[in-house]
Amino acid sequence: MLSRSTKFGWQGLGVLLVGLTLLLVFPRSPHLQAVETVTGLPTLAESAVVAMVPTTLSNPNSPLDFTPTETFVAQTAPNYQPRQIMQLADPSNYGDRYSTDAYGQPTVNPFIAVMHETVGSAQSALNLFQTYHPNDNDQVSYHTLIGRDGTIYYIVPPEKRAYGAGNSVFNGPNGPETVTTNPAFPSSVNNFAYHVSLETPGDGRGNGPSHSGYTQAQYESLAWLLAQSSIPDSRITTHKAVDRSGSRQDPRSFDYNRFFTLLRRYPNRAGLS
């Protein structure tokens, strides 16, 4: 689920002034060391179609959902081959991963995968990511998004930090994990997270606790995508689980057994524990 804040009038001016004050008091740390390359994450597919603008919906009479097609649903792991589209976000909506935090301490967190849902349509999310956002509070992105028809959209390069979670922590076997990259903002998992989102069905566009769920094609594509990584099952988590605000529920109505059954069909996967 995406989070944005919109500011109006004097209230917005006040928030802006506070933000500028914080940046003056807590400037971006000179200790941060950018990571140039990463290993163990899904790469941007060389064969993916490059799309600079959102693609046409497969069903023009359904402006909110991509209609699942039998071509994608009929395939299954480990021979599944998803449709892939390169649709990179505006650079304002992602940043560097860092090998040190804002205080110069090394960041040694292994990668986690964080699953989300769009709440809106895939097309609206892609439009949002490709929009320039000069305000830090408006900057949002995932590394990948999976449409209702199973299409995988590559949005942020894996070596970059997508802005998928704000105030967040991963509670894993080694205890709480979170990284501060800017003292003016809460720490988060973004520095070591690979964010992937599922397009929400039409009946899940509100804030209800559940909806009709995701398509078989989405589960197949999600399993295929994460099978390209070395992230173990124990470090695959959700936005709801890492969120510290208590406001995130995504991905709602997610079938974990269905997903992990597909994921473990890939050769040599076996949880990668």
In one letter, which amino acid is 248?
Answer: R
pLDDT value of residue 19: 43
Q: What is the pLDDT of residue 125?
A: 94
- Kindly state whether residue 3 falls inside one of the protein's structural domains: no
Residue 262 has a pLDDT of 94
Nearest to 196 by CA among 152, 248, 261: 152
In a domain, 185, yes or no: yes
d(CA 189, CA 197): 16
- How high is the pLDDT of residue 174? 85
The structural domain count of the chain equals 1
Task: Read off the tokens for 167.
Answer: 């105030």
Looking at residue 206, what is its pLDDT? 80
Asked if residue 1 is part of any domain, the answer here is no
- Can you list the residues of the chain whose pLDDT is less than 50? 3-26, 52-72
What pLDDT score does 50 carry? Answer: 64
Instruction: Establish if 4 belongs to a structural domain.
Output: no
What confidence tens digit (pLDDT) does each residue in 111-159 have? 999 999 999 999 999 999 999 998 888 889 999 999 999 999 999 999 9
Question: Does residue 125 belong to any structural domain of this protein?
Answer: yes
Nearest partner of 165 among 240, 235, 90, judged by Cα: 240
Question: What is the 8-class DSSP label of residue 270?
Answer: G
Closest CA to 122 of 238, 45, 218: 218
Q: Which of 184, 177, 206, 3 is nearest to 93 (CA)?
A: 3
Backbone φ and ψ for 81, nearest 5 degrees, come out as -130, 100
In a domain, 26, yes or no: yes
The C-alpha atoms of residue 179 and residue 71 are separated, in whole angstroms, by 42
Q: Is there a contact between 259 and 136 (Cβ–Cβ < 8 Å)?
A: no
pLDDT confidence of residue 74:
57
Is the pTM for the entire model greater than 0.95?
no
C-alpha dihedral, 145 to 150 to 153 to 158, nearest 10°: 70
pLDDT for the residue 197: 98
Cα separation values, 100 from 89, 182, 209, Å: 25, 11, 38
In a 10 Å sphere around its CB, with 0-12 CB exposed, 13-18 middle and 19+ buried, how is residue 223 labelled? Answer: buried
For residue 201, tell me if it sits in a domain. Answer: yes
Q: What is the DSSP letter of 243?
A: B
Residue 233 belongs to domain spanning: 9-272
Task: Let me know: does 116 contact 201? Beta carbons within 8 Å.
Answer: no
User: The domain that contains 226 carries what CATH number?
Assistant: 3.40.80.10
